[in-house]
């Protein structure tokens, strides 16, 4: 499932292809499928109808590009969707989703033979980049179906790396969260839990947590958990206190992000559950970004919320890396949390 979701296309605002695929995974493990009018989708599983309602959601969208214009020579100028860093973009393969089908292209780059010493030390600005689809005129590009507004996403196969538990693929931010929601539903199949769970994924997180805002109004949860990814601090060049987590040491619980301070009682409840269940857990603090919990927690008079997920390397690029055991431990911990989250716990979470 993670492979299929990773390789599916779904830039922010254009999640339909991955949403349709994702729904096929939700349906067998849900009592009912629930959708809002913004593309978000969750599976509903009733444990106790009069228990707390819990929203557990990743986000379907990935960072991408948008066709802005076609030059007279047939090159594609683009607008970024979500947060890109220019240094990870040049010479990378992409696919343009047109009304006539998918077209492969490459973000063009000048060969080093033609670069002056000064140019080699300069960063190419995104506004100066273009995509080459192998045609020689605007008319040829239009004949293939390309037009302004078409979404563009990275091409990157999902592959196993040297450690058999470590995988690389595109859009792991946040197809890992989407897959987690499905696996929690699967783990609860036939199990008792003192609540009603809504587990699935939002849309347009990467452009401002937009789908989270519509979904939380649709579900009206008592408690929410945003499923997202963290930044692994175990690679060269990252200070150990800038990114606290590492691959293979357990899922992460965010103690701070740019969109939310987590409910402290909910934070402690998850930490205590991990300790009781002997499941490894890491903490992470990310000042430079937010999660869907940033919208969930402000719904109505307030929703106790946390953000939780897998640590990953190289997010917001063509390929990221994660550890499968972190994913599996995350599913196990969330399943245990759902089994314990009754009205007594909810009342405690609200008593701030």
The single residue of 15, 62, 205, 325 carrying the catalytic annotation is 205
- Please give the Cα distance from 248 to 246 (Å, whole number): 6
* 206 labeled part of a ligand binding site: yes
* 323 labeled part of a ligand binding site: no
How far from the centroid of its chain's Cα atoms is residue 203's Cα? Answer: 9
Instruction: Provide the Cα torsion 161, 163, 165, 168; round to 10°.
Output: -20
* 343 labeled part of a ligand binding site: no
Strands 196-202 and 151-154, sheet pairing: unpaired
Across 162-183, b (16+ Cβ under 10 Å) vs e yields eeeebbbbbbbbbbbbbbbbbb
β-sheet bridge partners, residue 243: none
Expressed in angstroms, the distance from the first to the final Cα of the chain is: 39
- Please give the Cα distance from 16 to 255 (Å, whole number): 32
Do residues 222 and 54 make contact, with C-beta atoms less than 8 angstroms apart?
yes
Q: Which H or E element spans position 57?
A: strand 53-59
Token pair 């008792």 in the structure block, residue: 192
* 59 labeled part of a ligand binding site: yes
Q: Which residues, 6 or more positions from 275, have their beta carbon under 8 angstroms from its beta carbon?
A: none
11 phi and psi angles, rounded to 5 deg: -65, 160
Give yes or no: 205 in active site: yes
* Residue 76: Cβ within 10 Å count: 27
Identify the three-state secondary structure at position 128: helix
Q: How far is CA 333 from CA 241, 274, 282, 309, in A?
A: 25, 6, 12, 11
* 173 labeled part of a ligand binding site: yes
| Residues with catalytic roles | 205
Q: Binding site membership for Zn(2+): which residues?
A: 59, 173, 206, 228, 316
């Amino acid at each position: 499932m993670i492979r299929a979701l990773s390789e599916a296309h779904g830039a922010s605002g254009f999640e339909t292809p991955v949403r349709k695929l994702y729904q096929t995974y939700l349906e067998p493990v849900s009592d009912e499928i629930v959708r809002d009018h913004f593309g978000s989708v969750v599976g509903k599983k009733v444990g106790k109808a009069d228990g707390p309602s819990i929203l557990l959601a990743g986000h379907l969208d990935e960072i991408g590009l948008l066709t802005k214009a076609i030059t007279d020579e047939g090159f594609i100028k683009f607008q970024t969707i979500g947060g890109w860093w220019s240094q990870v973009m040049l010479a990378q393969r992409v696919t343009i989703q047109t009304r006539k089908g998918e077209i492969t292209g490459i973000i063009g780059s000048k060969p080093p033979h033609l670069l002056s010493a000064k140019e080699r030390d300069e960063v190419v600005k995104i506004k100066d980049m273009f995509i080459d689809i192998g045609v020689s005129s605007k008319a040829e590009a239009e004949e293939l179906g390309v037009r302004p507004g078409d979404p563009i996403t990275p091409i990157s196969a999902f592959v196993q790396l040297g450690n058999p538990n470590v995988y690389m693929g595109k859009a792991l931010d946040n197809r890992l969260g989407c897959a987690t929601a499905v696996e929690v539903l699967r783990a609860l199949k036939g199990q008792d839990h003192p609540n009603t769970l809504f587990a699935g994924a939002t849309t347009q997180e990467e452009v401002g947590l937009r789908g989270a805002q519509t979904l939380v109004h649709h579900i009206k949860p008592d408690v929410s958990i945003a499923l997202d990814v963290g930044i692994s601090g175990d690679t060269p060049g990252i200070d150990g206190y800038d990114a606290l987590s590492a691959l293979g040491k357990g899922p992460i619980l965010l103690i701070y992000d740019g969109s939310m301070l987590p409910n402290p009682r909910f934070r402690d409840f998850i930490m205590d559950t991990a300790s009781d269940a002997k499941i490894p857990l890491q903490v992470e603090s990310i000042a430079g970004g937010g999660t869907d919990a940033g919208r969930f927690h402000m719904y109505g008079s307030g929703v106790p919320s946390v953000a939780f997920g897998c640590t990953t390397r190289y997010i917001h690029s063509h390929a990221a890396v994660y550890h499968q055991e972190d994913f599996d431990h995350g599913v196990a911990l969330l399943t245990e949390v759902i089994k314990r989250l009754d009205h007594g716990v909810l009342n405690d979470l609200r008593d701030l």
